[in-house]
Every structure is written in C-alpha cells, then in structure tokens.
Amino acid sequence: MNSAFERAMAAFEPAHWPLAVGFSGGADSTALLAACASRWPGQVVAFHVHHGLQAAADDFERHCRAVCERLGVPLVVHRVDARHAPGDSPEDAARRARYAAFAEMARADGARVAVKCVALGHHADDQIETLLLALSRGAGLPGLAAMPAQARRNGLDIHRPLLAVAGADIREWLAGRGLPWIEDPTNGDARYTRNRIRSVLMPALEQAFPQFRATFARSAGHAAQAQQLLGELAAQDLETVGSPPRIATLQTLSRARQANVLRHWLMQSHGCAPSAAQLDQLLDQIRACATRGHRIHLKVAAGFVERQGDFLHWYNIPPSPKTLL
C-alpha cells in the first residue's frame, strides 16, 4: 500500500451504512466507487445525478450503468433540472441541484435501505481550485476554508476522503485497474472560471511552487478553524441578541461581531447569506437606528430585512407598510 490514494482510502471509515458514492462516471468518482466496492462489498450504492444540461447526459448514465454492473454495485439515478436563473452561477445551480438530488435518492426505494452517508470524489486539485475561485471572488473565511473533509448537508453526512490526494495519483491508480471513465466535455470550456484556473493557474503554480497543494491546503485548514471559532462566537451572541435580533442589543456589540451574528442568524434561520455590500448597508442602518421612527428596509439575499418595533425580521416578500413601526 504505497500510493497516496490507497493510504487515503485505508484511513476512510464511513459514519453510516450503507454507503452511497456520488458517481458521475469521471475518473475520481470511478476510483472512489471501485475502491469502496472492493473494500465493503454489498454495502455500497452509487448515486448518479442526470443534470440534463448536455446532449451527452444520457450517454453518461449508460456508462455509469455499465461500470456499476461490472463492479456489482446497485445504481440509483435521479434526473434534475439544473438550469440556472438569470444572474445565478451555473456551477452553483448545478451544485445545489446535485445535493438536493442526493437527499432524494437517499430516501428512494432504489437505495433499498435509507442512506445517511455519501462519499464524494473531490481531491486535492479540486480543493485548490475551490480556494482560488474563492479568492477571485473576494470571499471571506467560509470561502477560503474551501471544502470540508466531513460535513452535514440536507440531512446527509458528506465525506470527502480524497482531499489530500492529487488528481494525477487517482488516475494512475485507476489506470492500473483497467476501469474506464468519461471526460466531461465542459471541463475544457474557458467560459467557466474554474476551468481557467485548472488550465492556466494550476500548471503555473506547479512550476513555481511544487508543494503548493499541501501549503494551500494548510491555509484552507487555518481558515476553516478560524471560521469554526467565529461560528461558535456567533451562536453565543445570537443567544444574547435573540432570534429575531433585538436592535438595541445588537448595538452593544462591535461592528465586526454584529456582522458575524447577523450572517449566522440569516443562514441558520432563513438559509440565506447577504453580500458584503448588503451587510455593510444593514450595519450602517443599525448604527443610525436611534429613534422608534427609524425605518429599516433593505434587500438582503433573495428577500428583505425589515425593522418591526425593536427587532429585525427577514422576509421573502416584504410585509405591508401597516405592520412597520
């Protein structure tokens, strides 16, 4: 057991059984599925999301069925409409649709037994691409933390056991087993920022800083740890300011802590995240809120933050002006 891929798989222990593997048919998910099926025969199921975004999507499904038959792994397929809304990121829309599909498949009869744990084939190169993409967008700590090795999403435990393994190492292991995989034709589309990062920045970093995968991953780990601490502080502050937050209590906190707890409140209570500009506007309004007649009405994410009496409320649709005090 010498390869980085084999060491990573030896260290991987799923939280629950049966284990589902997100299976696109690409090299990374094929290697992950094959290794899991070999190590835990009869306890693994493949989840394939048919995005319907490409003419070749049906061919992808047929390929996945053939590989699963060869490996003796049951396959569950879920079709989604992953088209993005105007102004939305195509990648983000597809990602949300994919995780929602995993949750649906976990409850489907095709999974035979309810699935609580999904393993994904994201690897070290994906992690660095995610970090660089976050930097290109001016992201804060949540973005700089990149992808966690373990997470909870839509009621499922998500595992990424290959985050320390380079993509080339995975393909080398897979090639030695004679298993076929498919290449997503959109991976070469330069319209997508992630693809430009992969084709231009990653080779340059490899040449300039050969150890960049390990050092960048360490920085992402530091960001993740700092974000965890901010999350714990936000939870404590939310107990103090309340949900919905009381404006006068918010005003006793520093601006940074106000921003931290408001982000936490919006995400925990309403599943939305404000932009940096929206949050700055909201903080300015909270600072200026010195009288009962001060009105707060701001667009935040897909809804609005409103002042009602002494409290802040968030709505998908703003309330009638009659309710505002």
Tell me, what CATH number does 312's domain have? 3.30.465
Query: 13 or 316: whose pLDDT is higher?
Result: 13
Residue with the larger pLDDT of the pair 207 and 189: 207
The tens digit of pLDDT for each residue in 98-122 reads 898 999 999 865 556 789 999 999 9
Calculate the dihedral angle through the C-alpha atoms of 132, 9, 34, 145, rounding to the nearest 10 degrees. Answer: -20
The verdict on residue 217 lying in a domain is: no
Provide the edge-to-edge strand list for the sheet that holds 150-153: 75-79, 44-50, 19-22, 117-119, 156-159, 150-153
Residue with tokens 């839509």: 154
Which own/partner contact pairs does 311-314 have at CB distance under 8 Å and 24+ positions apart?
311/242, 311/244, 311/245, 311/246, 311/247, 312/244, 312/245, 312/247, 312/250, 312/286, 313/244, 314/244, 314/266, 314/269, 314/270, 314/272
Which residues lie across from 307 on neighbouring strands?
A: 312
274 and 205 part of one domain: no
If asked whether residues 193 and 51 sit together in one domain, one would say: yes
pLDDT in tens, 56-87: 788 999 999 999 999 999 999 998 876 655 55
168 and 252 within one domain: no
Please, are residues 98 and 1 in contact by the beta-carbon 8 Å criterion? Answer: no
Q: Per the domain annotation, does 172 fall within a domain? A: yes
Are residues 186 and 303 located together in one domain of the fold?
A: no
Residue 225 lies in a domain: no
Residue 152: inside a domain: yes
Among 191, 212, 233, where does a domain finish? Answer: 212
Q: Are 29 and 69 in contact (CB under 8 A)?
A: no
Domain that holds residue 281: 242-323
Number of domains the chain is built from:
2
Is 77 part of any domain? yes
Residues 75 and 153 both lie in one domain: yes
Residue finishing a domain among 212, 230, 251: 212
Residue 103 sits in a domain whose CATH number is 3.40.50.620
Across the strands, what pairs with 303? 300
Q: How many C-beta atoms lie closer than 10 Å to residue 115's C-beta?
A: 23
Binning pLDDT at 50, 70 and 90, where does residue 255 land? very high
pLDDT in tens, 256-309: 999 999 999 999 999 888 999 999 999 999 999 999 889 999 999 889 999 999
What would the pLDDT profile of 181-195 be if each residue is shown by its tens digit? 998 887 888 888 889
With left for phi above 0 and alpha for psi between -120 and 50, is residue 138 left, alpha or beta?
left
Omega of the bond leading into 244 within 30 degrees of 0 (cis):
yes
Pair 204, 253 in one domain: no
Same domain for 254 and 197? no
First to last CA, the chain: 68
224 occurs within a structural domain: no
pLDDT averaged over every residue in the chain: 90
The answer to whether position 230 is within a domain reads no
One domain for residues 45 and 124: yes
Instruction: Give the global pTM.
Output: 0.85
Of 192, 212, 232, the position where a domain reaches its end is 212
